[in-house]
Amino acid sequence: MATRETVLQSVLSITMIVCVIAFCGVASGEDTSYKLIKRVPIGGDGGWDYLAVDSEANRCYISHASHVVVFDTEKEKVIGDINNTPGVHGIAIATWLNKGYISNGGDNSVTVFDKTTLKETARIKVGNRPDAILFDPATKRVFTFNGGSSDSTVIDAVNDINIGTITLGGKPEFAASDGNGLVFVNIEDKNEIAVIDAEKLIVKNRWSISPCESPTGLAIDLKNKRLFSVCSNGKMAITDYVTGKVVATPAIGKGPDAAAFDPEKGLAFSSNGQDGTLTVIKEEPIGRFRFSVVETVATAPMARTMALDPKTHRIYLATAKLKQPAPGEQQVGRRRSFEPDSFELLIVAPVAK
């Protein structure tokens, strides 16, 4: 028969095991949920597009009309501004070179800036209506993806010179690099991914990602060699970038324009501007290529673009209040206008359940 001391010791041991398991669950993210934790007023007028996080410098760069807002992610306040970027779309960071690159759709150029001073150091002419922009660390080259000319301009980031153009055969959207010389880009009007050899400056493959329609945002999982494309028909196309095959198409929200992947947590995200949500997707451990939506997080209407900080696991989204037409007034074309000074940054973070 067990003594009182033996029983007590067993109970304590079991309690410790349960506590360890519970702690590990929280640490690994299995017992967390994503929440909108803060709204930071930015102000100013006009539209916006991409955001970019520089984890090492604790910064988030936010495109806004004709300038880029620089936000300190530790102090949670605006610390700078990069002006004269007409029709700004994207920001790419070349950490090794202490530089940043901004695509200016308004004058078909790229602004090069010093990360320390935030001052412009060069301006490079590129193709027509540059949209997404990417720095490839393997080749130390910057790629702009030009929606107006359906091509990519390639910049030598060491010398800041235009070194070539790659014809893409369709309207490019966002892109991702594998860090080993391949660049992947969504081709929106072809429902495909183009695979670029970043050294030879050629398109080496084209992969259909049907049933995805009009892919925009793109994210990459380097460990498992997967690409995540968000699509206008409410799907996320997940592609194996070794075989070029679509392996899953989980449902997402309406009006997506950006994708992100957190390698530590193994989660993919879609920011959906039409319904004001963030879709969180995870691969199921019970089988290969089985993905499911684990959470739909309320954000805000028009919050269609985002950037993930892999260090803190926080997600930053931009939005503003859509201006409603006055009685009898009609909206002209597709151009939208926003309430003055309503531009803001949303911060979504994982919190314990």
pLDDT tens by residue, 55-65: 999 999 999 99
CA dist., res. 108 & res. 126, Å (int): 6
- Choose the weakest-confidence range: 20-34, 39-53, 275-289: 20-34
Listed in sequence order, the residues at least 6 apart from 282 whose beta carbon sits closer than 8 Å to its beta carbon are 266, 267, 268, 291, 292, 294
**pLDDT tens digits for 81-111?**
999 999 999 999 999 999 999 999 999 999 9
Phi, psi of 19 (to 5 degrees): -65, -40
In 3D, which of 26, 60, 40, 133 has the Cα closest to residue 311? 60
Question: In whole angstroms, how far apart are CA 333 and each of 64, 89, 134, 299?
Answer: 21, 20, 30, 27
DSSP reduced 3-state for 25: helix
Contact 133, 142 (CB under 8 A): yes
Percent share of the chain, pLDDT over 70: 87
Beta-carbon neighbour count of residue 9 at 10 Å? 12
**Which tokens is 62 given?**
């936010």
In the predicted structure, residue 327 carries a pLDDT above the cut 50: yes
Beta-carbon neighbour count of residue 129 at 10 Å? 20
In 3D, which of 236, 244, 322 has the Cα closest to residue 281? 236
Give one DSSP letter per residue of 308-320, joined into a string.
Answer: E-TTT--EEEEE-
**Which tokens is 79 given?**
């610390």
In 3D, which of 148, 151, 147, 349 has the Cα closest to residue 267? 349
Beta-carbon neighbour count of residue 334 at 10 Å? 5
- Choose the weakest-confidence range: 58-72, 98-112, 164-178, 281-295: 281-295
Residue ranges of domains in the chain, CATH in brackets: 34-49+219-246+254-324+344-353 (2.130.10.10), 84-208 (2.130.10.10)
Give one DSSP letter per residue of 181-240, joined into a string.
Answer: SEEEEEETTTTEEEEEETTTTEEEEEEE-TT--S---EEEETTTTEEEEE-TTSBEEEEE
Give one DSSP letter per residue of 76-109, joined into a string.
Answer: TEEEEEE---TTEEEEEEEGGGTEEEEEETTTTE
If you ran DSSP here, which 8-state letter would residue 254 be given? S
Q: Give me the half-sphere count of Cα atoms (radius 13 Å) on the Cβ side of residue 15.
A: 6
**pLDDT tens digits for 261-280?**
999 999 999 999 999 999 99
* pTM (two decimals): 0.89
In the predicted structure, residue 3 carries a pLDDT above the cut 60: no
